[in-house]
Amino acid sequence: MEYPKNYFENIKKNMEDKYKEHFKLNKRLYDLVTSVIEQINAKGLRDKELPLFSIIVISMLAKTRKHYNSIQELCKLGFGEEAGIIVRSMTNAFIDLAYIFKCGKKVLSERWARFDWIIKGQKTEIAEMMDKLCKVPALKGEKLKKWEERKREIRAHMDEFRKDYKSKVKYDWSGYSIKTKAEKAGKGPKLLYHTVYRYNSDIEHSNAAALDKYIDDDTPGKIQFLSEPGESHVEENLRESFNVFVRIAEIFFEQFGLEDLKKGIGELTKDYLKLYNK
């Protein structure tokens, strides 16, 4: 389908007009976090100077800040459902962060980092599968020797991880489901899991309830595709992206002792509750 001239420009203008206050509130939060990031960058901190959890917090904030920005742009163009998938990813990151923050920063940060060896092991399995299924140049000589040494190193660390944590769970670093981590992290993460995360999981996993919203079969003998940009899920995900990102920012401010910035978070939260009548 070829879209009319200025199609997306018109959608963007309409969305920005209708949800003007929502975008303004989200930009204020984005600008606040950006100003803090600039302050941290100016200090020229090194990894070795920081506790492991601080490095995790910085990484999570950087990742979700980019997600948060992309959600605003998707919503301006009428891609609310697609924005929701990213909000789900942000919620996942927040639950991990909140779980570590509440249940043991030092021990759980180490476990989170060491799980990287399990991920590396999964990737070596994929590489070996590709060798068997695809015609790829085989490694020989010194390259093959280094590859075999690397695999032994990875498997040794994987065995240590599983031994130290008595872990048989292959795909989650904590040994728990995301639901359990959310429940252990407290009321806020638990609520976000049961609402934002699970709601957007319907779209992510393309279940029947979610897919039903992409077609209109009410007209006899005719099916209408509903896959064009529109207002569906826009307001919800502008709201919930703020709700998740502000919680990640709070953990960041707490970890780095930025007490003076909590006032800014408080003012934003007050305006958030006012905007959505909560």
Q: Are residues 59 and 123 in the same domain?
A: no
**pLDDT for 260:** 82
Q: How far apart are CA 86 and CA 108, in angstroms?
A: 25
Q: How far apart are CA 261 and CA 273, in angstroms?
A: 19
Q: Are residues 130 and 235 in the same domain?
A: no
Given a contact cutoff of 8 angstroms between Cβ atoms, the answer to whether 81 and 232 are in contact is yes
Q: pLDDT for 137-176, tens place per residue?
A: 677 889 889 989 999 999 999 999 999 998 766 668 999 9
Nearby residues of 270 by Cβ (< 8 Å), 6 or more positions away: none
For residue 270, the 8-state DSSP code is: H
Q: How far apart are CA 8 and CA 229, in angstroms?
A: 9
**pLDDT for 29:** 97
Q: Are residues 54 and 43 in the same domain?
A: yes
Q: Are residues 70 and 188 in the same domain?
A: yes
Helix (H, G, I), strand (E, B) or coil at 225: strand
**pLDDT for 3:** 75
Examine residue 2 and state whether it is found in any structural domain, yes or no: no
Examine residue 155 and state whether it is found in any structural domain, yes or no: yes
Examine residue 227 and state whether it is found in any structural domain, yes or no: yes
**pLDDT for 275:** 95
**pLDDT for 113:** 96
Nearby residues of 55 by Cβ (< 8 Å), 6 or more positions away: 47
Boundary-marking domain end, from 172, 196, 214: 172
Neighbours of 194 (CB within 10 A): 13
Domain count, the chain: 2
What is the pTM assigned to this prediction?
A: 0.90
**pLDDT for 211:** 66
Helix (H, G, I), strand (E, B) or coil at 36: helix
Q: How far apart are CA 99 and CA 95, in angstroms?
A: 6
Examine residue 55 and state whether it is found in any structural domain, yes or no: yes
Q: Are residues 135 and 249 in the same domain?
A: no
- Residues of the chain scoring pLDDT < 70: 1, 135-137, 168-171, 208-215, 217-221, 226, 278
Q: Are residues 251 and 137 in the same domain?
A: no
Phi and psi at residue 229, in whole multiples of 5°? Answer: -60, 150
Residue whose structure tokens are 């130290």: 164
Q: Are residues 85 and 180 in the same domain?
A: yes
Given a contact cutoff of 8 angstroms between Cβ atoms, the answer to whether 215 and 226 are in contact is yes
Q: Are residues 179 and 167 in the same domain?
A: no
Examine residue 241 and state whether it is found in any structural domain, yes or no: yes
Domain of residue 253, residue span: 7-111+175-275
The pair of three-digit structure tokens given for residue 46, joined into one six-digit string: 């090194």
Q: Are residues 263 and 195 in the same domain?
A: yes
**pLDDT for 123:** 93
Q: State which H helix or E strand residue 188 sits in.
A: helix 187-192
Given a contact cutoff of 8 angstroms between Cβ atoms, the answer to whether 169 and 175 are in contact is yes
**pLDDT for 129:** 85
Phi and psi at residue 160, in whole multiples of 5°? Answer: -65, -45
